[in-house]
Amino acid sequence: MPAAVQIPLRSMTMWLLLHSLLLASHLHSAAAFPKGCYPSEEEGLKTFRCSNAQLTEVPRDIPNDTNKLYLDSNRIPFLPRDAFRDLPLLLELDLSHNAIASVESGAFRGLAEHLLSLDLSSNRLVSVSKDAFSNLKAKVNLSDNPWLCDCRLQELIRTVELAAGSSGGIVCDSSVQEEHVGKAFLQVIADTDLCNVYKKTTDIAMLVTMFGWFAMVISYLVYYVRQNQEDARRHLEYLKSLPSKQRRSEESSTISTVV
């Protein structure tokens, strides 16, 4: 009878221990997430939400099976290299309404093959290298940023696929040509090739520089010749003032030197 009582007690003890371990593991996992971040499942996809969590950087402890990641409405200032490299299953990434002003090359490395949607709208992007989006197949939203409209932005726009309906929100906050300010960027590049304008400007600058150096060389040569002529004239005048024999000897020497 005592043995019969001990078996259920032992089983109950093991069950309670296992339950405690699972609970502790869950609490530790939850505690690892930044404040305001939590995992969920939406439409059968693993989702991790950090909206309005006052983040100042991309969290490091994002579950690596995440399919949808929301980091919108925070204070993230830039995206470093390999910021999302541990998220091999990520399909959607929302970084809108942050303070992102810089995107390093390689920030989205590892996402090229599977990421479908990238939202960078309503940030502080002025200029970004096309290399930052290298091989990215996702549809990208770049609207509502203070863009500098130049050749660099033109190359970027031709590299990425813009999200539907977002192109009109890419507006020139500043531009290499003043008349473009306030205009939709796609409208600007429909009429003007900014990269060609930049090339022409560079070519003209190079020509002006070369002409300046050429003019300096010519000026120096003219000055050098005139200075020698002036020295020779003064020397000849000096020779004329000498007695005849010495003058002829000096004149022959001067003529030989000039020749």
CA distances from 168 to 120, 131, 172, 181 (A): 15, 23, 11, 14
Same domain, 180 and 145: yes
- pLDDT interval class at 228 (50, 70, 90): confident
Same domain, 90 and 178: yes
Q: Is residue 128 part of a domain?
A: yes
Half-sphere exposure at residue 55, Cβ-oriented, CA atoms within 13 angstroms: 27
Q: Is the pLDDT of residue 18 over 60?
A: no
pLDDT for the residue numbered 11: 57
Same domain, 217 and 117: no
Same domain, 98 and 220: no
Q: Is the pLDDT of residue 141 over 60?
A: yes
Same domain, 155 and 217: no
CATH of the domain at 120: 3.80.10.10
Same domain, 205 and 152: no
Q: Is residue 99 part of a domain?
A: yes
Range(s) of the domain holding residue 201: 193-232
**How many domains does one find in the chain?**
2
Which tens digits make up the pLDDT trace of 164-216? 999 999 999 999 889 999 999 999 999 899 998 644 444 444 544 554 555 56
- pLDDT interval class at 248 (50, 70, 90): low
Same domain, 93 and 153: yes
Dihedral, 82, 88, 89, 92 alpha carbons, nearest 10: 20
Same domain, 178 and 225: no
Same domain, 79 and 178: yes
- Across the chain, what does the average pLDDT equal? 80
Q: What is the spatial distance between Cα 31 and Cα 56, in angstroms, rounded to a whole number?
A: 18
